[in-house]
Amino acid sequence: METRLEITSFKQINRAYNTVFEAGRMSIGLVVPIETYADGPVPAMHHHLKRVRLAEELGL
């Protein structure tokens, strides 16, 4: 037996959130920084802007 949950709306928080999260639509995103930093608590941020711009160009 398949159980299906139908979400008719998300809580309206702000324009950016409301644009990303729409009922019945899947949202995929990136969390920045886009790098690993296993050697310490702070990322190096090397090439950060280049990576973020590429993600934007790719439509992410």
pTM score of the predicted model: 0.47
Residue of 6 and 20 predicted with greater confidence: 20
pLDDT digits (tens, 9 = 90+) for 19-32: 777 778 777 777 78
8 or 60: whose pLDDT is higher?
60
CB 48 within 8 Å of CB 31? no
* Cβ–Cβ under 8 Å, residues 33 and 50: no
Percent of the chain with pLDDT over 70: 88
Of 2, 23, 1, 3, which Cα lies nearest the Cα of 12?
23
What are the boundaries of each domain within the chain?
15-57
Our CA angle for 2, 8, 13, nearest 5°, is: 130
